[in-house]
């Protein structure tokens, strides 16, 4: 696709977006953009080839369906330019094994800090502790951010909790929905998990120090057409139900998420975001099951400290600091998600 065709197609898409769900004639589009009817037709065909759901009628023109929601680097970039300043590379894939894996591969090739990887679907999406992350096409936002922070390892450990707050903010900004954060990396809405975050470090072979950090965010944007698999059906939720008319696009949510991640990770030494993390915690004041590699036990969550670790009270009344591991609010939590 030539740059001219690409630019024209993006302009036509913007106009269709402004009139989403309604028909606009080819003549109106041509006049608005100062292009020929032939150029409009070519742009429409290009957009349809990119899976945008556009209805055509020789009598009334073109209509971008309300259900159409195609991830686009061009559209995300445009939104970023409108809302803020982000000049780092964004890589899009129709399908990939894992956005985190690809971000790590790009890091090894010399990718700059702030590089973004987005995919329409993941064939091997992953959560913490080797669990799989269900990543169906067309209904989620799967995004990874590559960071090369110049901070010591103790501060780098804050990245996951910082990313959780950034994601919470992006969802609130775009939907007015208030998510709750389950330590350390899940976001819940109406007691169902709508987002998982996986943070991974890349260490230097000789220095054995963390050189890069990859933050992966998987958001269930809307309910998949076929629903969720049986093994996660009771715990998985989404921002929107499949029969709900959604005005928001995943491109808009992606742009908001990227800017919020940038703002909060640009200064990891400032942990003021932890106030928001605590205020929206799903676990403070709750009895939980702590799941460790060789044991599991019950505990009461008293507070979250200034590094994002849990201050827990054990059954014998003693206190303990939990910096890593997994907790469950459910009596049994053996799901693979």
> Which tens digit of pLDDT belongs to each residue from 42-74?
999 999 998 899 999 888 999 999 888 999 998
**Boundary residue ending a domain (44, 64, 84):** 64
Preceding peptide of 291 cis, ω within 30°: no
**Boundary residue ending a domain (28, 47, 64):** 64
**Boundary residue ending a domain (242, 259, 279):** 279
Please give the tally of structural domains in the chain. Answer: 3
Same domain for 123 and 35, yes or no, is no
pTM score: 0.90
How does residue 113 score in pLDDT terms, banded at 50, 70 and 90? very high
In this structure, is residue 135 part of a structural domain? yes
* Average per-residue pLDDT for the chain: 90
Query: Helical H runs in the chain?
Result: 3-18, 26-33, 37-49, 73-83, 99-108, 153-156, 159-175, 250-265, 273-279
- Rounded to whole angstroms, how far apart are CA atoms 106 and 116? 10
In this structure, is residue 336 part of a structural domain? no
CA angle, 191 as apex, 189 and 195 as ends, to 5°? 45
Residue 148 burial (CB count, 10 A): 15
8 Å CB contact between 64 and 20: yes
The pLDDT of residue 129 is 64
Percent of the chain's residues with pLDDT above 90 = 66
CA angle, 172 as apex, 168 and 178 as ends, to 5°? 75
CA angle, 38 as apex, 32 and 42 as ends, to 5°? 95
Model confidence at 276: pLDDT above 70? yes
Structural domain harbouring 32: 3-64
Q: Which two tokens stand for residue 140?
A: 């989620």
């Amino acid at each position: 696709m030539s740059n001219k065709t690409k630019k024209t197609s993006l302009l036509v898409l913007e106009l269709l977006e402004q009139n989403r769900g309604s028909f606009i004639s080819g003549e109106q589009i041509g006049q608005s953009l100062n292009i020929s009817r032939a150029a409009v037709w070519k742009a429409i065909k290009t957009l349809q080839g990119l899976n945008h759901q556009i209805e055509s009628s020789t009598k009334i023109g073109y209509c971008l369906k309300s259900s159409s929601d195609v991830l686009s680097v061009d559209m995300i970039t445009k939104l970023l330019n409108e809302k803020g300043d982000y000049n780092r590379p964004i890589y899009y894939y129709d399908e990939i094994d894992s956005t985190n894996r690809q971000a790590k591969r790009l890091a090894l090739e010399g990718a700059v800090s702030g590089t973004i990887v987005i995919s329409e679907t993941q064939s091997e999406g992953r959560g913490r502790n080797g669990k799989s992350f269900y990543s169906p096409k067309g209904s989620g936002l799967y995004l990874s951010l590559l960071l090369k922070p110049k901070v010591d390892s103790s501060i780098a450990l804050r990245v996951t909790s910082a990313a959780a707050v950034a994601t919470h903010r992006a969802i609130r900004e775009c939907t007015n929905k208030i998510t709750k954060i389950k330590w350390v990396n899940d976001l819940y809405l109406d007691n169902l998990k709508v987002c998982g975050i996986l943070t991974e470090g890349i260490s230097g072979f000789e220095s054995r120090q963390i050189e890069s950090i990859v933050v992966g965010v998987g958001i269930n944007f809307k309910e998949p057409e076929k629903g969720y698999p049986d093994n996660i059906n009771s715990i998985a939720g989404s921002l929107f139900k499949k029969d709900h008319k959604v005005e928001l696009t995943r491109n808009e949510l992606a742009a908001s998420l990227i800017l919020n991640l940038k703002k909060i990770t640009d200064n990891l030494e400032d942990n003021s975001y932890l106030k928001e993390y605590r205020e929206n915690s799903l676990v403070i004041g709750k009895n939980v099951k702590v799941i460790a590699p060789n044991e599991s036990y019950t505990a009461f969550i008293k507070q979250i400290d200034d590094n994002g670790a849990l201050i827990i009270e054990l059954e014998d009344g003693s206190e303990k600091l939990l910096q890593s591991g997994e907790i469950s609010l459910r009596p049994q939590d053996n799901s693979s998600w």
